[in-house]
Amino acid sequence: MLTPSIDSEIGRLQTVIIHRPGKEMLRLTPENKDELLFDDVLWLERAQQEHDEFARVLRSRGAQVLYLQDLLAETLEIPEARAFLLGAVLSEDSTGLAASPAIRQWAESVEAPALAETLIAGITKEELLERIPGVSSMVLASMDPEDLLIGPLPNHLFTRDTSSWIYNGVSINSMSRQARRRESLNYRAIYTWHPLFAAGGFPIWSDGTVSPALSTEGGDIQIIGNGAVLIGVSERTCPQGVERLATQLFAGGVREIVAVKMRKTRAQMHLDTIMTMVDHGTFTKYAGAGMLPTFTLRPGEREGAVDVIENPAEAMHDAIAAALGIDELIVLTTPQDSRAAAREQWDDGANSLAVAPGVIITYERNVNTNEYLTSMGMEVLTIPGSELGRGRGGPHCMSCPVIREPLDS
């Protein structure tokens, strides 16, 4: 059993969920990559090596690494969890009325590890018919052999986005994009039934079932400490979603939220693509992000009410410093020309993961940023990411911290 607790972005990382890329990546093609939110197809074996190095570095700094696919497989051993996931994924809406009973019967009998892989990698018509030949179904008859009856979830790689531990509770996020919505179901099953979490005792800020019109994604959420949360209002996280999460967090004791109004572009899809916290009161930030308007949100007087203060762009850093209860923020922006800055941002240069205050994991390719952060006193642990980065996410996106040491211990 775990006692999850994340009261900052930088406290020593004790437990983290990551996902080793697998067969789901082999579903990516030049034709479907955009719909699946990847910028390129990737070389799976190399991506796995890069990811194994990520896991090695995490462990070398004392973190317990939990693999999402293992958690899912262990969860699927529990009949209620299996029934929940199969009911949600293999509904008549997706598999059709005629094939549904046979598919469900087959899925009930699959060993948990294989079923976990199938839920993440998806299944083609031909793979299904190898397992249950002779099903009479117009849905299947209308498909080509290699068409996917259940789609893949390649973006499970970015464990942070779908699941955010915020102080003592968790937000299973409502994903903005169709390609990522089923990811929330997997986390919901894990946090409800997996033995590490099933004892509960933690608030669920959101169970992932709210409408995508109220989307919040974890790449936009940073737990900056001092009872405060920084949230990007981005391409993926909408103001309605922020307000909804804010009411839950305020009821649970969070003191203040600073929401950053971001540009809505793919290159800056989440807050952690332009800035991440690396040390006490210290952020690394992409030069091209500039100063952005913010909103300071606090609990209103009435129950469930939220007070909103608008802050001009020039007050961005001051608004975050105020939430942290400090006089001034330290913002580390690599001095380089704007083209080099844009290239490193695209390659997740601002997407660092702190494993302790001032100790961060970054992609090795962002040489200027890494040298600069080192010169500013950070300990920079680099990992390769040429393949992993094709999904447009770095170490921060690829991690869902569950337990961090409290900052004041």
Residues contacting 222, CB < 8 A, separation 6+: 9, 229, 230, 231, 271, 272, 276, 277
Angle (CA) 243 249 252, round 5°: 145
Helix (H, G, I), strand (E, B) or coil at 214: helix
Give 235 or 279: the residue with its C-beta nearer to ligand CIR: 235
Taking CB under 6 A as the criterion, the residue among 6, 37, 121, 297 binding ligand CIR is 37
Residues forming beta bridges with residue 297, ordered by sequence position: 257, 308
- Rounded Cα distance between 23 and 153, Å, is 10
Q: How far is the CB of 8 from ligand CIR (least distance, A)?
A: 18
Sheet of 294-299, strand order: 221-225, 228-233, 256-261, 294-299, 306-311
349 interacts with ligand CIR by CB under 6 A: no
Residues contacting 339, CB < 8 A, separation 6+: none
Structure tokens at 239: 């103001």
Q: How far is the CB of 41 from ligand CIR (least distance, A)?
A: 13
State the DSSP code for 132. S
Asked if 400 is an active-site residue, the reply is: no
Q: How far is the CB of 262 from ligand CIR (least distance, A)?
A: 12
Residue list 142-161, contact with ligand CIR (CB under 6 A): 155, 158, 160-161
392 interacts with ligand CIR by CB under 6 A: yes
Residues in contact with ligand CIR, total (CB under 6 A)? 16
Q: Which stretch binds ligand CIR (CB under 6 A): 118-126, 202-210, 305-313, 392-400?
A: 392-400
Residues forming beta bridges with residue 277, ordered by sequence position: 283
Binding mask 259-298 for ligand CIR (x = CB under 6 A): ----------xx-xx-------------------------
Residue list 192-221, contact with ligand CIR (CB under 6 A): 219
Catalytic-labelled residue, pool 18, 383, 397, 403:
397
Q: Which residues are catalytic?
A: 397
Residues that bind ligand CIR (CB under 6 A): 37-38, 155, 158, 160-161, 180, 219, 269-270, 272-273, 391-393, 397
